Amino acid sequence: KFNSPHDFVESWNTFADIVLTIAPNVKMVFCVNAGMPVERYAPDPQFVHYTAVDTYNKHPEIIVDPRIIHTDSSFSTLCGPTVRKLQDTFTQTPIMITEVGIEQGKESLPWMLEAAQTAASWEGISAFMPFAWNKYKFMSFDEANWLEVMSGDNLKGFGEYIRSKQAFATLH
């Protein structure tokens, strides 16, 4: 039944109104994938306490939904337009970048470092969550095994960068 943006917005607003009436301490998070049409799905701002965007950069040989998985683009190119739409639509709402995904590999650390630097420079970003995965084991338990993909030189390099540059000192 909920196949249109209008149906989604009405459902969100109704659900949020009910939840916030019962539990006013609950915070509602409107999260979209980078590149999705924020303006078509944006709920009433009174029912959104935080906004968020998920961004994924993928290997070109993996077949996935091209609307949400992008290939070999910069973080700024992938996420920037959506962040700007969220800023324009929800002017008083903090923005979280809740998943910044990059497939494990030789280029993942430089890409993630660029993402961290860029996110730290954007106005209104309140959170940043890096995410790596191994889609070569698609639909297996190991697909979500962070011990395998967030390890070694990439994890060490990302941690050293964050500590040495204090990239997130500007986040609030």
Q: In the numeric block, which tokens belong to residue 48?
A: 């959104």
> Tens of pLDDT along 76-97?
888 899 999 999 999 999 999 9
- Which residues, in sequence order, are CB contacts of 75 under 8 Å at separation 6+? 55, 57, 100, 111, 114, 115, 118, 119
Q: Where are the alpha helices (DSSP H) in 61-151?
A: 75-89, 108-121, 146-149
**Burial class of residue 76 (count of CB atoms within 10 Å of its CB; 0-12, 13-18, 19+):** middle
> Tens of pLDDT along 94-121?
999 988 877 666 567 777 888 888 888 8
The answer to whether the predicted template modeling score (pTM) of the entire model surpasses 0.85 is no
**Residue spans of the chain under pLDDT 50:** 59-64, 145-149, 167-172
